[in-house]
Amino acid sequence: MKQQTFQSRHAQEWAAFERWLTLRGRPRTRDRMLDGDDVFSDVEFPAAYRRICQQLALAERRGYSALLVHRLQDLAHRGHLILYRPKAPRARAVVDFFAAGFPRLVRSQWRVMLIAALLFFAPLIGVIVLLQWRPELVHSLFDPAQLANFENMYDPASSAEKLGRESGTDMAMFGYYIFNNVSIGFRTFASGLLAGVGSIFVLIMNGVIIGGVAGHLTAIGYGDPFWRFVAGHSAPELLAIVISGGAGLQIGMALIAPGRRTRGRALVEAGSIGARLVLGVFAMLVLAAFVEAYWSSIGWMPASVKFSVGGLFWLMILLWLWRGGRGRVDVE
Amino acid sequence: MLDTLTLVETPEGIALRLRAAGAMPRAAAWAIDMVIRGALLWGVATVIAVLGRTGVGFYLLILFVIFWLYPVLFEVLRDGQTPGKKIMRLRVINANGTPVTWISSIVRNLLRTVDMLPFGYAFGLVASLIDPSSRRLGDMVAGTLVVHVEPPEQPSAAPLAPIVQAPIALPPAARAAIVEFAERAATLTPERQQELAALLPMLTQAGGALAVQRLHGMAGAMLGRS
């Protein structure tokens, strides 16, 4: 068939397809025009797209002019983008992910998670213990202004009303915790791409600093308001840091030891695992920020209540990570 | 190596032509996005100032959204284009040609942290200069590409000329070239057309405007006009 015949035979079809693309193919639903008289309905789109693909293949095979081939390529490419557009996440899939998929993913990466936990909790507990033994060592961690700031925040004499802050409403602190802590979580993960060094550094660094504050305040007798403040949100926050560190470490491992895959392939797989871990970390840190802003700061609550709630959080989150999604068949 | 065009075969049996975008247009798109994000934040700050201290919390929440989620939301919900990329006619897609997904967009945008090191996207720039399809580190881990969106070409009809049969049988590539020459006639000056037609004296057996006319006539025959 000559090009002219081919073109005139299909010109209407191409025009209709292009019209559908411009009117119904917009990413935003409300930008899309309602079905008009001369626009075919959405259910006919896949078939129309397949015909365009077939005509493109024919045009290329028969050596039709480059302009025609380009036009068909353009139509096919735009159709391809719309046909394979990612679906909006369904509520069911989101619930499934947090209930089962995420804990399972954490367990499947148990090696890096264990290493991350050691890298974080060993310096944390080590520094706390060390500072009870040799309290003056705290001065090699913080300068006097920082120490004065910490002492001011948890002074048992002054902090009658709100714990763990100098000023600011609950909402202001919630925003602060979200921006600050979630950013730290994200960076801990991302810096793992530097052969894991970034994540290792952030984990140890945070362990030492948190341990330093906790150890110092306990050593000078400000332990009661401090532990009452941190008990509630410690479980989601500390475990989220560990998991994001582990997510970073597994990216670093994919770079160092890709195994029987190419390095690029290993990185892409590790990136996909890491992003899903970070989604869970994000949820945990939002929970932690909420607890920290609205619950942990309540000053009058007796220590026994604070500690039992904090303990309950530890128990439930560890139970969730350990048992979540067990014995269920993966739907995906 | 120099050609940035990659062909990706799809399950439909067609090849998608992906033209990877280099560092410069991407930096420009990023700069446009930064201006938009700055303006958004400034607008939010002036509105929220009336709320006082509680407003600080909302401000930080919105800062978080603009800082971390802006690129992800735009890339996934707007066909791979943030406003800056749209202005620069760029698009983020998966390396296999499909639209960028949630996970890959999250990965490539979180890993900006590493691309920004040690300052001013230096790692990302070096990576994109080394990589054949100029991907930064985040793109490599996410398996994504930034490509140029090519504006659609409207084919112009070849000009009508008396039909001439080519004196010899031509291979398909040569036939396509002659047809394309005719279809592009509207975009070429008559002088340039004559120059090009003069390259084929054996075929046209004429010179000047007559050669052009004969080529158009041959194109007409190849297109199937009568």
Tokens of B117: 């090191």
Half-sphere exposure of A180 (CA within 13 A, CB side): 12
Best of A51, A97, A193 to substitute, by most chain B Cβ atoms within 10 angstroms, is A193
Q: Which residue has the tokens 């191409």?
A: A14
Residue A129 in this model has a pLDDT that exceeds 50? yes
Start-to-end Cα distance in chain B: 44
**Closest among A284, A107, A131 to A220, alpha carbons compared:** A131
Residue B1 in this model has a pLDDT that exceeds 60? no
What is the distance between the alpha carbons of residues A56 and A61, in angstroms, rounded to a whole number? 9
What is the distance between the alpha carbons of residues A43 and A47, in angstroms, rounded to a whole number? 8
CB pairs under 8 A between A and B: 172
Residue A332 in this model has a pLDDT that exceeds 50? no
Query: How remote is the C-alpha of B78 from its chain's centroid?
Result: 16
Instruction: Tell whether B131 is within 8 A of chain A (Cβ).
Output: no
The set of residues, in sequence order, having a beta carbon less than 8 Å from that of A175 and lying 6+ positions away, is B56, B57, B58, B59, B60, B61, B64
8 Å CB contact of B142 and A76 = no
What is the distance between the alpha carbons of residues B181 and A18, in angstroms, rounded to a whole number? 25
Start-to-end Cα distance in chain A: 46
Residue range A90-96: mean pLDDT, rounded:
89
What is the distance between the alpha carbons of residues B22 and B190, in angstroms, rounded to a whole number? 36
Q: What's the pLDDT tens digit per position in A308-325?
A: 999 999 999 999 999 888
Instruction: Kindly provide the ipTM of the predicted complex, given to two decimals.
Output: 0.87
What's the confidence (pLDDT) of residue B26? 93
The residue in chain A having the minimum alpha-carbon distance to the alpha carbon of residue B66 is: A179
What's the confidence (pLDDT) of residue B107? 94
Q: What's the pLDDT tens digit per position in A188-234?
A: 999 999 989 999 999 999 999 999 999 998 888 888 888 888 888 89
What's the confidence (pLDDT) of residue A167? 64
8 Å CB contact of B54 and A278 = no
Instruction: Tell whether B189 is within 8 A of chain A (Cβ).
Output: no
Contact B193, B185 (CB under 8 A): yes
What is the distance between the alpha carbons of residues B174 and A168, in angstroms, rounded to a whole number? 76
For residue A81, the distance in angstroms to the closest alpha carbon of chain B comes to 6
Query: How remote is the C-alpha of A103 from its chain's centroid?
Result: 14
Tokens of A25: 């193919």
8 Å CB contact of B172 and A278 = no
Q: Which residue has the tokens 């996207």?
A: B121
Q: What's the pLDDT tens digit per position in B75-133?
A: 998 888 999 999 999 999 998 889 999 999 999 999 998 998 888 889 999 998 998 88
Does the global pTM surpass 0.90? no
What is the distance between the alpha carbons of residues A80 and B19, in angstroms, rounded to a whole number? 16
Give strand ranges (E) for chain B: 5-9, 15-19, 90-94, 144-148
For residue B129, the distance in angstroms to the closest alpha carbon of chain A comes to 17
Q: Can you give the three-state secondary structure of B36-55, one letter per residue? A: HHHHHHHHHHHHHHHHCHHH
Taking each helix axis as running N to C, give the angle between helix A170-177 and helix A263-294, from 0 to 180 degrees, rounded to the nearest 10.
Answer: 170
8 Å CB contact of A86 and B99 = yes
